[in-house]
Structure 1
């Protein structure tokens, strides 16, 4: 098994290095190399989440995998090889109920029309209707049942009723026993307690399974079970060579007192354990209200950092976490709302000019500096085209097919989910699954076609096909690494070309607006942080200044104030001012 796991880990590393140009691991020292460990992580990228963990955790991890996934051809086979534990998810076993149901808002009673509740429904099952889930507490008759909580929505059709689905309650005792057995041996368990993957910017409610597993293991005599929260954050996931950050949090230790309480009060003890796990997971993650807020937070961190200052990925991530806290606490305040509006306008301005925030400084270069940089970019572009497009005719069909099929799968996943926003969490995973099948198939086909043309001996042809299967993936990987740089080079060359041709004022007015807007926003963000920071937490500013020293920020702020009028668009300047135009 360890030898096979080594091969699977090598495959995961190959996938991760192909998908992501930068893998940033924070706090790797928090991973215990020995003993019983449960890794709990957020689930925003389906199978890629597990792939990233396998590639970076220096231990063999047994993941808790949905039975539905275990039945899939590629994933199921790989998961069973490395000893993953299969679990039945109630939502995967849901089925359409016979008849229709209706109810009165504020009541706990649900009435059925042509239903057979005694046959189809059990106590503890859930009913899904109108995108709401209701827990069944008691079955009165074939056409009447009681749910746990009062219904807070109106029935869409009280006369004829509405269709519903039944989510059965599953007995997971066998799974808990398997997990306990593994932890007794000192193995490592991996689980995503949200239940399924999603593309939201916040945690879904955690399933109680992870808490029950831990408490059952402790009750059965397993000592020192460490729960390690893991935060997975993706950047530019849908582009070639994106970024992923893996943050290991501090270990969560469940006391024996809680284990004893579990025997007396199951529900309350499980809630306490889940609360600890959720708190640990949130300390590792980047959470926000929605995707727009996430983009505003990223812009704030970029604007707060002094221009062209190089800081480590770890410090950038820490800054993002701090700004997330500020936006959660003051998200509804006028200051944050006004800033968010201005940031969105600035973001539109960046998109209109096809430039990124961290590239705005390039517009302020002198003509000579921009010319030298432009020549350098031309040389880099030629180099990237040579090394990035050599085998493009061979791998572009693979990429095109994977993109098409992944989009179809995204639409299907979105249609069948109640928690996904756009279904983007399944795209990268499905592309990888498609390529795992297509890559060897196409390479064999390419090898056969070229060998038939080049060689007459069947022995030589077979050798050429085998060589193609081994060499072509390496060539594709090199191509992808270089071709991913081409769009950035072209975009920056366009910026530099504008600077070189900057003597024409019409060309520069939009750029002046960009630079001036950025300067104003930098000052506003820093002022807001100074005012709101102490109210976020006592050590908010202290943590921020550990990442970017206060004297550096203050010096840059003074520079911005001194040069405030330097880049104001020409048409906006007062006619009474007779300042010489610098550009």
Structure 2
């Protein structure tokens, strides 16, 4: 949905006193149609994506009204299917999503009706270019006045509509609401255009700062000779019925989902949220303050979303409620302030479940830094997303720090060299084998490829027309979407949708053609005479999809093997072995620099940095944690590193309350999967910590710690400590042949440190 702040005037009026029951639903949902459609379309989603992982599904309330806000909207209609399927399978909730009115046609329109979607008209969908040019005659004293040359605003524009400026170099054009039509060549807007690009488009002046201020305020008017800029106009769209339908669905205890950025895009950062999401929440609570509405942020995180057999992570954030004071502001006609504050809350919640970077190069650098930082450690996909997010936040906060600038520069140079050699980062790390091993491994993998080709080639030939047509059409649709959008970069957000739609439409046609061909030719003469033609037809319909699916599975494995052949060949090539050796050394040095920089700046970013360290796993290839004896912790030059020291955990995280975590996510290996750094804390720090030990210390599992949240638990811990003190004292007396005649316990100061006693206890 793409409503702007102007829609606060279009929200439905408050109901009369006593009108608390929702009326008949405008867009009803049929449960069995919803489930049947999701079941069918999920098969296609599973074929397109290699893995769709969910994270934090326990945050979703199992009852009551919920407003889901999902971002970034990077995969057009595929986002909706993945979100609905995940909620249905993991949280047992059905959700009605808002869909653009222009998309409610054909198969998409039919599918949206099966799942109870709510169609929404958007201003940008109905915006059309109009004749003439526009400019700002008085940008200093009266920036709300827009004047035209060769325009007819009285005919083309209307109060409540919108005026759009063109996009510039991939940056979306600004739009504002029309407040008054002064004449055929002059309008007054509800708010002034802001920003350097917009003001330049309307004035032609170059004395504008990045914040949109004129450095020469004494000069009034546009640049001399400036003719103006092109524009688009959109009519006023009444959203009152849409809002009321959403209010009714939420007040009746249902779920509504919205992609508040307003439309799909392929940018690496969140777009500004539209006001519609805030109006939905505030309007619902204004009509029924006791309905119990909660808002749940959802992060749609993809790895190459437009590519076949890519991966996705759907992450649910912590739900929050709308503060009552915002509802009061909304009811007292202070809607702009209430909407602005709620949009800020929604934006912050979405940033906690998404990875946002200013551009693609920065995103690639952050992902490379994560791989360098995690050398020798294999993490679940959801933890990779979490680490990417933390690195993105840290790099954004310290982007002006010389250390971060130097790291990013070296990472970009490293990525360029990888592209030059046409290898991946993980291939560099594992290309360290002797020549005989390399030869044997190369021959073994080539043999496996030949075996897999037996299952791949038939399906590849059968499905080739569908692959080619879907790719061509998706590229054409991406170009069309890019031309009609002001926010897209390459239009890749529509490619996955069109690949799936084309495959769904074309696959039955192709299989039907193959079946008819085989039945007509009786399998090219190989079928026995007693076999009827219709049996051949139906058998072909069963065999063709099976061959295609086998090719998909075998091809997926074979592609991974094929990608691993180039580094092996490079190892055998004398001309490239030196380059490979150099880039391996460069990678090792860069990995040390990344780890040192993160460990140095991490405590300034996260207070619990030292307690949630992500150490290397010695059992994983390349995960050797041995360090030179004179190595010191970069963050603590005077403190030696204790290799193998487990990460520290606060004792309160192991109490009965922490063991009551929901069980729809596995916590069995939580002691071995920490959250951030790769190097362990210093020995001195770990011993002086009040946490009393870390995961795995003394071979204690998580549940083995004594709880201190009760008097019984405290007495038990105290008893253990005293017993350990007595045992320690007896051992020291036997060694020194010095005993106590009265049998009293020795003083703890003579029997080692308090931390050592606690460790043995």
Partner residue in 2 for 1:249: 317
- Higher Rg: 2
Question: Which one of the candidate residues 150, 153, 159 is aligned to 2:200?
Answer: 153
By how many angstroms is 1:381 displaced? 1.5
Partner residue in 2 for 1:410: 478
Paired residues of 2:617 and 2:624 also in contact (CA < 8 A):
no
CA deviations over 1:4-44 (Å, ceiling 9, x no partner): 22222123321221122122211121222322122211101
By how many angstroms is 1:257 displaced? 3.4
Paired residues of 1:126 and 1:133 also in contact (CA < 8 A):
no
Q: Which runs of structure 2 are paired with 1:201-216 in the superposition (5 Å)? A: 201-216=268-283
Partner residue in 1 for 2:157: 121
Paired residues of 1:39 and 1:189 also in contact (CA < 8 A):
yes
Give secondary structure in 2 for the equivalent of 1:485.
helix
Paired residues of 2:96 and 2:116 also in contact (CA < 8 A):
yes
Partner residue in 1 for 2:327: 259
CA deviations over 1:427-459 (Å, ceiling 9, x no partner): 1111111111111111111111111111899x9
Question: Which one of the candidate residues 389, 403, 406 is aligned to 1:321?
Answer: 389
Partner residue in 2 for 1:90: 123
CA distance, structure 2, for counterparts of residue 159 and residue 259 of structure 1: 46
Matched, 1:54 2:93: no
By how many angstroms is 1:517 displaced? 0.7
Q: Which has the higher contact order (CA 8 A, sep 6+)?
A: 1
Paired residues of 2:317 and 2:353 also in contact (CA < 8 A):
yes
Partner residue in 2 for 1:34: 63
Structure (1 or 2) with the greater helix fraction: 1
Partner residue in 2 for 1:525: 594
Paired residues of 1:61 and 1:190 also in contact (CA < 8 A):
yes
CA separation of 1:547/1:440 partners in 2, compared to 1, >3 Å: closer, same or farther? farther
CA distance, structure 2, for counterparts of residue 229 and residue 452 of structure 1: 56
CA distance, structure 2, for counterparts of residue 560 and residue 524 of structure 1: 19
CA distance, structure 2, for counterparts of residue 526 and residue 16 of structure 1: 37
Partner residue in 2 for 1:68: 102
Question: Which one of the candidate residues 170, 174, 179 is aligned to 1:133?
Answer: 174
Paired residues of 1:523 and 1:557 also in contact (CA < 8 A):
no
Give secondary structure in 1 for the equivalent of 2:446.
helix
CA separation of 1:461/1:68 partners in 2, compared to 1, >3 Å: closer, same or farther? farther
Partner residue in 2 for 1:4: 33
Q: TM-score with structure 1 length normalisation?
A: 0.89
CA separation of 1:414/1:337 partners in 2, compared to 1, >3 Å: closer, same or farther? same
Partner residue in 2 for 1:218: 285
CA deviations over 1:520-564 (Å, ceiling 9, x no partner): 100110111122212223234544x157699x99974836999xx
**Residue correspondences, number:** 555
Q: CA RMSD in A?
A: 2.8
Matched, 1:477 2:549: yes
Structure 1 portions without partners, runs of 5+: 563-583
Structure 2 portions without partners, runs of 5+: 1-29, 168-172, 205-222, 632-761
CA deviations over 1:115-149 (Å, ceiling 9, x no partner): 22233323332211233334223322221122321
Partner residue in 1 for 2:378: 310
Paired residues of 1:26 and 1:248 also in contact (CA < 8 A):
yes
Partner residue in 1 for 2:713: none
CA distance, structure 2, for counterparts of residue 47 and residue 384 of structure 1: 34
- Range 333-342 or range 275-284, more displaced: 333-342
CA distance, structure 2, for counterparts of residue 282 and residue 335 of structure 1: 25
Partner residue in 1 for 2:730: none
CA deviations over 1:80-115 (Å, ceiling 9, x no partner): 122111110111111222433232454332112232
By how many angstroms is 1:475 displaced? 3.0
Matched, 1:349 2:349: no
